[in-house]
Structures are given as C-alpha cells and as structure tokens.
C-alpha cells in the first residue's frame, strides 16, 4: 500500500504542474493513469502535454495500445496499462480499495475552486479513514511544502 499525495494548486495551473509529477513517477519506474472526469478536458490536457518542454510519452485511453502506454489519460476507473500510480485531476476520485493496490495516488486540485477544495477534503477523509497514509502539499509560498501528514496505522 502506497501513499496518497494531495497537491493544492494555487500558483501554477494543472498543465504546468502535472508534467513535473509525471516525470517523477516515470523516473520511479511507475506506469501512470491520469484520471479525469471530462473527456474534453483530457483532450485539452493531452494537447498541452504534447506541446510541453521535453518528451513525455503518453496516450489517451481507448486505443489498441493502452497496455503499452507509460502514461494513460482516462476517464475510466480501469488501469489497462498496469499503472502503479493514479493521478486524479479535475475532481476525479480514487477509491480507498484501489489506493490500497497502488504505489502512489496523487490528487491534484485547484485551490481557487471551492468545489474542488471540498472534493479534496472528502478524498482525504475517505483515504485516511481507510488507513492510507497521506500528505498534503501546498505551493502557497511559491515552492511545494508539505503542510500535513497522516500516517497509516
């Protein structure tokens, strides 16, 4: 069972933060599913990831090569690429049962959106209540700083 990391985005948008986190996950040897709630938003994010600096190998779920993708963007709860890490964006959720099977869960949420804040708080309660270790990270000072931690029993 891994750790859930909550990233409170207040200074940089998702499309700037996500590539750095994906690079770290790939460097750790993990396959990743980026889970979103809206297909159009994932298409937009897919375009941004291809236009970013450096090469970030990824694909959109639903193709014939999903199992081969190191990073897969999806609206589904499935992990056809065998992901060890799920990064939930735009209000997508990860169940406690699924989190127990992963190396890492990352919840990225917009700190300027009250609905996103409430959703992240609910995810924190659900995951920590199920015994998942969690960390809350904030970029309010311009650097990522760990602000809270809940250890698994």
Residue 31: per-residue pLDDT: 97
pLDDT tens per residue across span 13-67: 999 999 999 999 999 999 999 999 999 999 999 988 888 777 788 999 998 999 9
Residue 27: per-residue pLDDT: 95
The pLDDT mean for the chain works out to 93
CA 12 – CA 23 distance, rounded (Å): 17
pTM higher than 0.75: yes
Domains of the chain (ranges; CATH) run: 3-150 (3.40.50.10110)
- pLDDT at 2 exceeding the cut of 80: yes
Average pLDDT over residues 74-101: 96
**In the block, which residue shows the tokens 């000072």?**
141
What three-state secondary structure class fits 51?
helix
């Amino acid at each position: 069972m891994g750790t859930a990391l909550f990233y409170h985005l207040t200074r940089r948008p998702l499309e700037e933060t996500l590539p750095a986190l994906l690079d770290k996950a790939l460097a750790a040897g993990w396959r990743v599913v980026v889970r979103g709630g809206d297909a159009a938003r994932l298409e937009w994010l897919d375009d941004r990831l291809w236009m970013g600096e450096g090469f970030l190998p990824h694909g959109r779920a639903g193709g014939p090569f999903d199992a081969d993708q190191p990073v897969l963007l999806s609206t589904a709860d499935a992990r056809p690429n065998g992901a060890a890490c799920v990064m939930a964006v735009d209000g997508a959720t990860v169940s406690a049962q699924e989190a127990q099977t992963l190396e890492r869960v990352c919840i990225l949420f917009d700190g300027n959106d009250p609905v996103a804040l409430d959703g992240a708080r609910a995810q924190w309660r659900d995951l920590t209540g199920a015994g998942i270790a969690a960390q809350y990270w904030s970029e309010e000072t311009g650097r990522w700083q760990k602000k809270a931690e809940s250890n698994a029993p």
